[in-house]
Structure 1
Amino acid sequence: MMDWVPIAFVTFKVIVFGAGMFFAIKWHYERGKNGKEKQGTVARAGGKVAAVFVLSLLGLSLLTFGLSTMLGLDLTFP
């Protein structure tokens, strides 16, 4: 019965973070379009933000996995 909870929460998290990143990059792009920044700079900044997000997500996942293994939780898939 509780098998759908992680799927729903992860899906919600991906949608929220994806929408947030989309609108942040769009805002920076439109601001740069007005002549305040170059387009290459905006794309580079968006790439850096995406890279930092992915690396922090990977680090948090590894930390969580290590902590749960240290606590003796069974993480095998059925």
Structure 2
Amino acid sequence: MDWIPVVFATFKILVLGTGMFFAIKWHYDQGKKEKGVEPREVLRASGKVAAVFSLSLLGLGFVTFEVCRTLGLDLNFL
């Protein structure tokens, strides 16, 4: 088995996960700076952003898979 897809996929997951963590943390910290905003509202908004991002990423994966399959690319990992 080639090691390049495993390394690249792992790297991609780590980078996207780290980016999501810091994006949520930044929004949470910005919400804490504003005195009138409840922490619960900030957490709810952060959760919505994370959910939309995750669903978009999943949708992009499916679209990419379908385009590759339509073009006749070999998608077997074995």
**Range into which the TM-score falls when normalised by the shorter chain:** 0.7 to 0.9
Partner of 2:6: 7
Contact 2:28 2:46 (8 Å CA) reproduced? no
**Alignment partners' CA distance in 1, 2:7 and 2:44:** 32
Displaced runs of 4+ in structure 1, greater than 6 A? Answer: none
**Alignment partners' CA distance in 1, 2:77 and 2:16:** 27
- Long gaps (5+) in structure 1: none
Return the letter of the residue paired with 1:46.
Answer: S
Q: TM-score with structure 1 length normalisation?
A: 0.78
Given the superposition, is the C-alpha separation of residues 16 and 38 from structure 1 closer, same or farther in structure 2, using an over 3 Å criterion?
Answer: same
Partner of 1:63: 63
Is 1:53 equivalent to 2:53 in the alignment?
yes
C-alpha RMSD of matched pairs (Å): 1.9
**Alignment partners' CA distance in 1, 2:61 and 2:41:** 30
Give the paired residue count: 77
Contact 1:69 1:75 (8 Å CA) reproduced? yes
Is 1:29 equivalent to 2:28 in the alignment?
yes
Q: CA deviation digits over 1:10-52, x for unaligned, max 9?
A: 2112211211221222122222223142111211111111111
- Long gaps (5+) in structure 2: none
Q: TM-score with structure 2 length normalisation?
A: 0.78
Identical residues among aligned pairs (%): 60
